[in-house]
Structures are given as C-alpha cells and as structure tokens.
Amino acid sequence: MSAETVLEVRNITRRFGGLYAVDNVSFEVQRGEIFGLIGPNGAGKTTLFNVITGMTPPTHGELFYEGKNITNKRPHEIAKLGVGRTFQNIRLFGTLTALENVMIARHIHTKSSVMAGVLGLPPAPQEERAVRQRAMQLLELVGLADAAETQARNFSYGDQRRLEIARALALEPKLLLLDEPAAGMNQNEKGVLSGFIRSVREQFDLTIVLIEHHVPLVMGLCDRIAVLNFGQLIALGAPEAVQNDPAVIEAYLGD
Amino acid sequence: MEGFLSTYGAAIVQMALAGVLALSLYLPLMAGQLSLASPGFYAVGGYVAALLSTQVFTGYPNGAYPIPLIALEMVVAGAISALFALIIGIPSLRLRGIYLALATIAFVEVLRVFALNQPWLGGAVGIYNIPQPFFSATRVEYLVLALPLLVGAALFVARLERSRIGRAFVALREDELAASAVGIRPTYYKVLAFTLGAILAGMAGALNAHILNTWNARQGTFDLAILILAYVLVGGSRTFLGPIIGGAFLVALPEIILREVAGTPGLNPAIAAFLRDGRLILFGVLIAVSVFFFPYGLITPNLFKRRRKPPVAPLEATKATPKVSRGEL
Ligand SMILES: Nc1ncnc2c1ncn2[C@@H]1O[C@H](COP(=O)(O)OP(=O)(O)OP(=O)(O)O)[C@@H](O)[C@H]1O
Ligand SMILES: [Mg+2]
C-alpha cells in the first residue's frame, strides 16, 4: 500500500443469503484520483459503497482508510474520519429547507452543547453564523443559493442530486463517494456535472469514487476505472484499457 | 372572575402541566422516536417530591410549605428522571418505531406495578398529605410554579429547535441513515432527546404531587400516555407550539363540555353521561380525525412562515423517490 493510498478495499465480500452481492473485491484508490466504479445493474456497486461507509457490514474482508482499519466502524464514525457520500436513491431531509440540509452536515465541525445552543452562549452564536454562511456558499457552488429556503422535497430530481452533493461537501470529506450523480439529468446537465466534479476535486482537494452508468461521462472524467460484474472485480485500469478489455465487453454485451 | 377561577382554576394549572408533558413527548419525537415513557418519568417525579416533602423537608405547617423547596424538588425530580431515562434509554432506543413504543409502555407498566408493591411508596394507597404552600380551593395559585415551568420548557424547546443539537434531532427524524452519513451519532442524540423529555415529565410530576396533595400508582399510567400522545398529535408534532396548544386545548375541552354542555338543563341523560364519562373515546376520535386530516397536527410551522412559491416546480419523479430503510438500501 503506497503512502498516497486513501482507500484500500481488501478482499471484501458481502453476501445476502446465497447471493454474493460483492465477491472478494480488492483495489486501492490513490489520493486525488477520480476513480470510476461501473458495472451492469445489480453488479454490487451500491453494496460496495454501503460497505465502505459502514452502512452494510462486510461478510469478509477489510477496509483501510488513510491506513486506518475502518472495517467495523459505524457510519457516523466513518463520516467523521472524512468519508462523505451521496445516495443513488436520494436521501435528503425532505421536509427541511435546502439550507437546513446543508447546515446539518456541518455537525462534526461544530461543538456547541445543548445549553450553549439554548442560552445563546459562546460558541453557539458564532458557530451558527459561520455554519449558515458556509452552507450558503455551498448552495451557491451548486447553483441553489436562490432556493435556500425551499423544502428539499420540492426540488427537481437534478437539483436534489446537486443538493446532496452540497450536503456531502459540507462534511469537508477527503474522500467523496458519489452514487450515480448524473442519474435523472439530461445530456446538457451531465456535461455540466462532469466539469463540476472535476472542479470540486481541485477546490476541495478531494479523492472521488464515482458510480456511473453513463459510459462517455465515466470515460471522460475518471483517472481509473474498476468494473464489477456479479459482485466480482473483472477489470481495473485506465479508461481506454478497460474499455477494450474483452471481459468488460463481454459483461456489457454478453447474455 | 371569582366564580370563573373557582370553576376553572385547577383546570388552568393542569393546562400548563399538560403542555409540559406534551413537550416531554415531543422532544424524543423531534428525533423521530415515538416514546410513551413520559408518564413513567412523571410518576417518578411525583414520588420524588412526595418523599422529599413528607420525609425530608418536614416541619412546615400545611399551607406554608415554602415554594422554593418545591422548585428544589422539581430540580431533583428532573435529575432522577434523567438518570432513569439514561438507564432505560440506552438499551431501548436501539428499537425502532412500534417496538420502542411498546418498550416504553412496558416501562410505565413495570413502574406502576413496582410502586403498587412498595411499602416505602405507600403501596396502593400511595403517599398522602403532601404539604401545600397555599390554602386554596382552586389551586390557581400553583400557576406561580406551573407557568414558569411551561414557559421555561417552551423557550428551551423553541431555542433548541434552532440550534445544532435540535437540527441533529430533526435530521434523525427525517432520515437516520443520511444523518449518520454526515457524522451524526444516532443513539447518542436519541438518548439525549429522550432524556431531555424525561426531565420535563419528572418536573411536571413533582409539581403535580403538591397540587394533588397525594401521589400513588394511579398517577402516570398508560391512559396518561394516550392523553399526552393526543396533545401532541392533535396540537402538532412539527413545532414546539403544537404540543403546548394541544395540551391546553384538550385539557380545557372536557372541562368545558363537562361544566357548560353536560350540565345544560333538559339534555338527554344518556348524552350527558357520555359527555361526562366518554372522555377517552372522544380523545380517540380526535386523534383519529386529526391524524387523518392533519398529519402534522393543527399547528404547523407553515402557519408562521410567509407563503412563498417554491422556485422549482416539483417533479413527479421527485415525489415518487422511494424512501428505503437501511436493509433495502
Ligand atoms: N439489502 C439487500 N438484501 C438483499 N439483497 C440485496 C440487498 N442489497 C442489494 N442486494 C442485491 O445485491 C445485488 C447488488 O445490488 P447493488 O444495489 O449493489 O447493485 P448495483 O451495482 O448498485 O446496481 P444498480 O446499477 O442497479 O444500482 C443485487 O442483486 C441486489 O438485489
Ligand atoms: Mg446501485
């Protein structure tokens, strides 16, 4: 494992009954990479994200984040270490406003107690102001600043995805996992998103792992790509190499 | 005025206490936890005050019991309730939904049976002759304590809702998994919300022990849990004002029916009897109706917001986005 390895997935298996959703998968993600995770429907991509973020315990295998074993850590602990994520089936705090959604994600960067918050004692007022300001900046970044007071559930599909990214960024993650961020977006929006993902990587010094079905987007955006099929890792490498890999072509075109 | 207070004085004090009890259920509900344990903590608080005032702070003639001592008892009752809440909350708040509700009902029931069988708690008779600070038929003087308790509790919850911790509660209510994905520790905040609620219930119990003059295992039972739930569901579960108004309304309603309507001369005796005894039935119907027509209760946060159109029209696809539980994700 090189010093620049941010995430190491080591022999991870996740079984659901007799089904191997993720089957003995190993790979490493390097700092600053945009790492693509692709594969046909049901290949185990989302399950792998859930395992990495502590939401689904692995059946076998180990996970290392920045050299630390995080295999049995709880989701909130993994988030605290700097792993942010979005969800394929968008999970916003629906009845809360866009602003509140993002403010909530500043939780680990604030520390006011119950009493400080209720009585308005330091550091609560200062924190509150800073959190609001930071959340507004992030909404601006994803182009939702003028809808800050709108309930999250009233946004369009694409805007909800953007809001989820803003919320994930509010955590100040070092590793960001995006589960199909372009789903539900049109061609134009997908192009914009691609540029956006690249620019947040620069701006926030991020390492990004991205699940995406849309092949041109993945090929254009990712530094390396891992391909899952029936839970197994069948290819790993640069986009051109993966694209021409017979096993990958077989998985996508075969029966 | 004199007549009004002698008729409704006690009810006005109970309206304030109902608001406090409703807030005690509202707090865990803010964090998405349906707990029916409030009557248990209320019972504990009452026994704490009853024991302290009859066995520790003795020597005050009835009618001259110092008000500051009652305030002190309320603080002690709150602290002891908090301790109970931690002990039962840490294991039971891992349960979800209806299982948590059942576990908290079991707690209330266990406490009741325990109290019934403890000689030092007075057994079935309970603890009586709890000293009062006033010679009063109406008990309306107790507002001196009940009102500050209600206002304090209301301000506390109102401020909490706008703070970091309150937002963490609400995030858990909205989507526990998404909350944990931004670093919110679910069990910690659920136990915290539950404990804050327990403190309020304990304090209300302590005060009511003095008001009622006696405390026994019939205080703080499952019936009360349903009443408190009605306060919150009818009043509103999305802003602190809902439970307070719900509590006041549902305490006042039967009093008014009882005294103004059921006593109307010439009223069919069967109807009058129903109005007198059918309170729980009436509440059941009210819960059902309000849950059906007003899922967030009568008082909702939107009532206080300036109306504005969402800048983006909601898409069908958005509305249909399914919420999946952790297992399905
Ligand atoms: N909680 C669960 N219980 C049982 N089976 C599950 C569970 N979660 C996922 N699976 C199964 O595991 C397999 C992998 O699912 P997963 O959602 O990880 O695939 P995916 O690669 O993300 O697919 P898609 O591209 O459709 O999102 C599927 O067969 C799915 O039905
Ligand atoms: Mg998926």
Q: How much is the pLDDT for B272?
A: 79
**Average pLDDT for residues A214-231, to the nearest whole number?**
92
- Please check whether residue B189 lies inside any domain of the structure: yes
The reply to whether residue B164 touches residue A85, judged by beta carbons under 8 angstroms, is: no
Nearest Cβ partner of B178 from A56, A91, A110? Answer: A91
Mutate to test the interface with A, among B318, B323, B324, B328 (most CBs of A within 10 A): B318
- Please check whether residue B256 lies inside any domain of the structure: yes
Q: How much is the pLDDT for B316?
A: 40
Domains and CATH numbers, chain A: 1-82+173-255 (3.40.50.300), 94-171 (no CATH)
Q: Does B196 touch chain A (CB under 8 A)?
A: yes
**Cα dihedral value A36, A37, A38, A42, nearest 10:** -160
Nearest alpha carbon to residue B243 among B172, B154, B179, B324: B154
- Please check whether residue B326 lies inside any domain of the structure: no
**Residue B194 and residue B94: Cα distance in Å, rounded?**
12
C-alpha of residue A16 to centroid of ligand 1, in Å: 9
Q: Which residue has better confidence, B272 or A255? A: B272
Residue in chain A nearest B321 by alpha carbon: A89
Q: How much is the pLDDT for B1?
A: 58
Decide if B222 contacts B113 (C-beta within 8 A): no
Q: How much is the pLDDT for B311?
A: 47
**Average pLDDT for residues A109-130, to the nearest whole number?**
95
Query: Domain tally for chain B?
Result: 1
**Residue A218 and residue A211: Cα distance in Å, rounded?**
8
Q: Domain residues for B67?
A: 2-320
- Model confidence at A155: pLDDT above 70: yes
- Model confidence at A186: pLDDT above 50: yes
Q: How far off is chain B from A156, nearest CA to CA, in Å?
A: 5
Strand pairing of A68-69 and A19-30?
Answer: unpaired
- Exposure of B145 in the CB half-sphere (CA atoms within 13 A): 27
Q: How much is the pLDDT for B2?
A: 65
- Please check whether residue B329 lies inside any domain of the structure: no
C-alpha of residue A116 to centroid of ligand 2, in Å: 41
- Please check whether residue B32 lies inside any domain of the structure: yes
Q: Does B154 touch chain A (CB under 8 A)?
A: no
Pocket of ligand 1 (CB under 6 A): A 16, 19, 21, 39, 41-47, 88; B 327-328
- Model confidence at A16: pLDDT above 80: yes
pLDDT per position as a tens digit, A64-92? 999 999 999 999 999 999 999 999 999 99
- Please check whether residue B327 lies inside any domain of the structure: no
The reply to whether residue A160 touches residue B168, judged by beta carbons under 8 angstroms, is: no
Residue numbers in A near B174 (CB within 8 A): 93-96
- CATH number for the domain that contains residue B71: 1.10.3470
Q: Which residue has better confidence, B300 or A203? A: A203
**Average pLDDT for residues A49-65, to the nearest whole number?**
98
Mutate to test the interface with B, among A129, A154, A162 (most CBs of B within 10 A): A154
Residue A60 has a CB neighbour count (10 Å cut-off) of 14
- Please check whether residue B328 lies inside any domain of the structure: no
Nearest Cβ partner of B318 from A79, A120, A155? Answer: A155
Q: How far off is chain B from A120, nearest CA to CA, in Å?
A: 8
Residue numbers in A near B159 (CB within 8 A): 117-120
pLDDT (tens place) for every residue of chain B, 329 residues total: 567 777 788 889 999 999 999 999 999 999 999 999 999 999 999 999 999 999 999 888 878 899 999 999 999 999 999 999 999 999 988 888 888 999 999 999 999 999 999 999 999 899 999 999 988 777 888 999 999 999 999 999 999 999 999 999 999 999 999 999 999 999 999 999 999 999 999 999 999 999 999 999 999 999 899 899 999 999 999 999 999 999 999 998 888 877 777 777 787 888 878 877 777 787 778 878 888 888 888 888 877 765 544 444 444 433 333 333 333 33
Q: How much is the pLDDT for B28?
A: 97
Decide if A154 contacts A96 (C-beta within 8 A): no
Q: How much is the pLDDT for A9?
A: 98
**Residue B196 and residue B31: Cα distance in Å, rounded?**
12
The reply to whether residue B312 touches residue A94, judged by beta carbons under 8 angstroms, is: no
Decide if A177 contacts A53 (C-beta within 8 A): yes
Q: Does B193 touch chain A (CB under 8 A)?
A: no
**Residue A253 and residue B8: Cα distance in Å, rounded?**
79
Token representation of residue B247? 């509590």
Which residue has the least CA distance to atom 18 on ligand 1?
Answer: A44
Q: How much is the pLDDT for B191?
A: 96
- Please check whether residue B103 lies inside any domain of the structure: yes
Which residue has the least CA distance to atom 16 on ligand 1?
Answer: A44
The complex scores an ipTM of 0.94
Which residue has the least CA distance to atom 31 on ligand 1?
Answer: A42
Q: How far off is chain A from B249, nearest CA to CA, in Å?
A: 27
Lowest mean pLDDT among A2-6, A206-210, B232-236, B247-251: A2-6
Sole residue written with tokens 């309150």: B166
Ligand nearest to the CA of A52: 1
**Residue B8 and residue B138: Cα distance in Å, rounded?**
8
Nearest alpha carbon to residue B42 among B111, B91, B88, B106: B111
Cβ-Cβ contacts under 8 Å for B22 (sequence gap 6 or more):
B228, B231, B232, B235, B243, B244, B246, B247
Q: How far off is chain A from B79, nearest CA to CA, in Å?
A: 15
Residue in chain B nearest A49 by alpha carbon: B329
